[in-house]
Amino acid sequence: MRAGPSPRPVAPAAPRPPVVPVAPTPPVAPALRGWVAFDLVARRAGVNLLTATLDAQVTVRNDGDRPAEGIRLDVRLLSASASQDDELGALFAQPVNAPATAPFALAPGEERVVNVLATLPRAAITVLTAGGRPMFVPVAAVNLRYVTDGVAGQTAGAFAVGLERDGAAKLAPFWLDGPGRMHDSVAVRPHALSLRS
């Protein structure tokens, strides 16, 4: 009987360097600055022969630790479409040259309510259809630009506007095959696109 090859001696494993615990990095506190935020409430909305209109209230507040100055508010009414995100992106990239009210300042924790009326020419409405019926789905775009300690800031967001229905989570559109009118039972829902800097 032949003996198999003799096993090779195994070299001892090199000792591992000791594990040195790393101290956790302390969280960086956010810089003290003004942070402008807003809430949009739709009061009335509708379509007539010439325009679509949104009557709304914007509550602007400073959630930061420093004053926010030169606050300029722009509210636009757009029409939902396949290109709406591109349109919103271009809109939010522009300066606010024609604010809804005179520029104003807010101290930390302070807020201001601004009533706005946004319109869209009926000819600019993108007509969508559902069940063979023409409809309009408004999109409200809110853009706030401001300065805090010499640094420019911006808060912007888009909202779907529609008719509230009892027990329905989804808003109803504005149908275009009926008589034009303003509706009181309107609401807004946040759109995916928003900015804060």
- CA dihedral for 91, 95, 98, 103, sign (positive or negative): positive
**DSSP conformation letters of 47-98:** E-SSEEEEEEEEEEEE-SSS-EEEEEEEEEEEE--TTHHHHHHHHHHS--SS
* Domain parsing of the chain, residue ranges: 36-196
Alpha-carbon distance of 77 to 146, in angstroms, equals 21
Take residue 51 and report the two structure tokens written for it: 């325009």
pLDDT tens, 59-85? 999 999 999 999 999 999 999 999 999
Q: What is the per-residue pLDDT across 48-63, written as a single tens digit (0 to 9) for each? A: 999 999 999 999 999 9
Per DSSP, the residues of 127-150 read -EEETTEEEE-EEEEEEEEEEETT
Confidence at residue 184, expressed as pLDDT on a 0 to 100 scale? 94
